[in-house]
Amino acid sequence: MRSDLARLIAGALAAMIVVAVAVAAVALWADRRDRVRHESDAATGGVGARAIPIMTANGCSGCHTIPGVPGAQGQVGPRLDASLAGRVIIGGVLANNPENLIRWIRGAREVNPHTAMPSTRITEQQARDIAAYLYALK
């Protein structure tokens, strides 16, 4: 009888430890995600939380695969995912930094006339919002 009770208590303690570790892991992940979003917003002057409807309305998903953007499974342009933050060059010609990404989003053909990416009618602020979203994917 006592061994059954001891096993029950040990099992309950093990379950509580697993739950506590899972809660801590989720809290750490959420903290990192929020910190990265804040840093991306600050670096670009944008608000990444506003980017998804902008990208959807401007057809970005037709050419690019973009995590978190419904229907963004395009195969023509490069994947716009966590690898973007590690790329050295944007569009084959610009150093990867927030101002250049914003410039590229707004007027890719003004930067590189041979690119397949069209120049957009995206405003400066909308481009900043998109850049913030993309950099936060890291």
Residue linked to tokens 């809660």:
23
Q: What is the pLDDT of residues 89-131, one digit of tens each?
A: 998 899 999 999 999 999 999 999 999 999 888 999 999 999 9
pLDDT in tens, 29-56: 666 777 878 999 999 999 999 999 999 9
* CATH of segment(s) 2-135: 1.10.760.10
Yes or no: say if 46 and 128 are a contact pair by the CB < 8 Å rule.
yes
Sign of the CA dihedral with 49 first, then 55, 137, and 134 last? negative
- What pTM was estimated for this model as a whole? 0.78
Residue ranges of domains in the chain:
2-135
